[in-house]
């Protein structure tokens, strides 16, 4: 069971060493066996308070502990999508399969220097990292390859996150204990990918240390909503605007399809809302292929030139049709 030493002392990581000392003294007095008695609970509590203070009153141990706590928290929240940031004490099994950090292991049962030394060298797994990638509907249909530039934070390999080497500040990480670097990943996003799909890049999370396993990188795919496309099963639905004269005379419209440019033939006397089915131009999945269904929408162009307006006027004068005879 992992312990939150801050919770035990009723302080936060932002409290000063004086505040931690005051909190410790208050609790130590309250739970001292002379006052609280020697019941099992009281003795355990007294032991816990002393253990917490031993770590939090020592700057080196405290910074090690803070780092461990930060990673634990990070992995816990990342894997549970939980907002319960203070729930450190839940059992490791309840957290995640890939993250198995245990403070007791980290510190040893007794926190004497020998044990700390030994346990700091114990293997520690890296944590999983997630990142988001946005693709458009078209890329989702046809699949796409994306290059992702990820900022990675890893424990400094020189000082192993301890910030010091031979009692002086680690020059490799400038005493931060961590190193930030960018790494490029080329990710192949498969055709037909759905919004919210996850792609796992094994071992590309933060690095494990002392032989611990690397975390994984999860890429969450966000498919942008598109006004131009809608899908239903393997079929793709889209709208093509045409002018009134194109509707009357017919035309050919070029649109982008999954495998290149598609030539759509709009027949003469096409009505608004008329549908055209392009067979086998939809999404390909599991050896099946859908259709593309086009809805024609007649649009009146704005900002007509004077010449165009004259032609419309002429058309109005000479027109013989009566489309309202049934009203
Ligand atoms: Zn370092």
Helices (H), the chain: 5-9, 17-30, 33-36, 40-56, 59-80, 92-95, 103-107, 113-120, 137-142, 244-249, 306-318
Altogether, the residues listed in the chain come to a count of 327
* Cα-to-centroid distance, 158 and ligand 1 (Å): 5
- How far lies 190's CA from each of 74, 213, 236, 284, 285, in Å? 29, 27, 17, 11, 10
13 vs 145 pLDDT, higher one? 145
From 173, 130, 129, 182, select the one nearest 151 (Cα to Cα).
182
* Cα-to-centroid distance, 169 and ligand 1 (Å): 8
* Cα-to-centroid distance, 231 and ligand 1 (Å): 51
Task: Please state, rounded to an integer, the average pLDDT across all residues of the chain.
Answer: 80
* Cα-to-centroid distance, 155 and ligand 1 (Å): 8
Stretch(es) of the chain classified as CATH 2.60.260.20? 125-226, 233-318
Q: Is the pLDDT of residue 246 over 90?
A: yes
Model pTM?
Answer: 0.43
96-105, 245-254, 260-269: least confident range: 96-105
In this prediction, residues 55-82 reach a mean pLDDT of: 70
Topology at the third CATH level for domain 233-318: HSP40/DNAj peptide-binding domain (2.60.260)
Stretch(es) of the chain classified as CATH 1.10.287.110? 1-122
- pLDDT for 154-207, tens place per residue? 888 888 888 888 888 999 989 888 888 888 999 999 887 889 999 999 999 888
CATH architecture of the domain 125-226 equals Sandwich (2.60)
Q: Is the pLDDT of residue 122 over 70?
A: yes
Residue 283 near residue 258 (C-beta atoms within 8 A): yes
Q: What is the CA radius of gyration of the chain?
A: 33
Residue 247 near residue 269 (C-beta atoms within 8 A): yes
- How far lies 289's CA from each of 78, 135, 197, 259, 285, in Å? 37, 22, 21, 13, 6
- pLDDT for 255-314, tens place per residue? 877 777 889 999 999 999 999 999 998 887 778 889 999 999 999 999 999 999 999 999
* Cα-to-centroid distance, 153 and ligand 1 (Å): 12
* Cα-to-centroid distance, 107 and ligand 1 (Å): 20
* Cα-to-centroid distance, 256 and ligand 1 (Å): 52
C-alpha 146/C-alpha 222 separation (Å) is 13
Categorize the per-residue pLDDT at 153 as very low, low, confident or very high, splitting at 50, 70 and 90: confident
Categorize the per-residue pLDDT at 98 as very low, low, confident or very high, splitting at 50, 70 and 90: very low
pLDDT of residue 298: 96
CATH number of 1-122: 1.10.287.110
Categorize the per-residue pLDDT at 152 as very low, low, confident or very high, splitting at 50, 70 and 90: confident
pLDDT of residue 85: 36
């Amino acid at each position: 069971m992992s312990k939150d030493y801050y919770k035990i002392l009723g302080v936060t990581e932002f409290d000063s060493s004086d505040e931690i000392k005051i909190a410790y003294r208050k609790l130590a007095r309250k739970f001292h066996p002379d006052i609280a008695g020697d019941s099992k609970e009281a003795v355990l509590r007294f032991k816990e308070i002393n253990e917490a203070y031993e770590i939090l009153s020592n700057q080196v141990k405290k910074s090690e502990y803070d780092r461990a706590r930060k990673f634990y928290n990070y992995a816990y929240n990342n894997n549970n999508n939980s907002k319960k940031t203070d729930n450190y004490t839940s059992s490791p099994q309840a957290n995640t399969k890939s993250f198995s950090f245990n403070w007791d292991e980290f510190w040893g049962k007794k926190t004497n220097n020998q044990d700390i030394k030994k346990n700091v060298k114990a293997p520690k797994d890296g944590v999983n990292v997630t990142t988001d990638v946005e693709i458009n509907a078209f890329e989702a249909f046809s699949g796409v390859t994306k290059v992702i530039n990820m900022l990675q934070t890893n424990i400094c390999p020189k000082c192993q996150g301890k910030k010091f080497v031979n009692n002086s500040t680690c020059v490799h990480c400038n005493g931060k204990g961590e190193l930030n670097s960018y790494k490029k990943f080329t990710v192949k996003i498969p055709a037909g990918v759905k919004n919210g799909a996850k792609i796992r890049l094994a071992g590309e999370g933060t690095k494990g240390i002392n032989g611990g396993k690397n975390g994984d990188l999860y890429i969450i795919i966000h498919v942008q909503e598109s006004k131009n496309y809608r899908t239903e099963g393997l079929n793709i639905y889209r709208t093509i605007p045409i002018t009134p004269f194109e509707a009357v005379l017919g035309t050919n419209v070029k649109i982008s399809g999954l495998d290149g440019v598609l030539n759509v033939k709009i027949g003469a006397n096409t009505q608004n809302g008329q549908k055209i089915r392009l067979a086998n131009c939809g999404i390909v999945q599991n050896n099946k292929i859908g259709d593309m269904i086009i809805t024609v929408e007649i649009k009146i162009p704005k900002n007509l030139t004077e010449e165009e307006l004259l032609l419309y006027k002429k058309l109005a004068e000479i027109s013989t049709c009566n489309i309202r005879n049934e009203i």
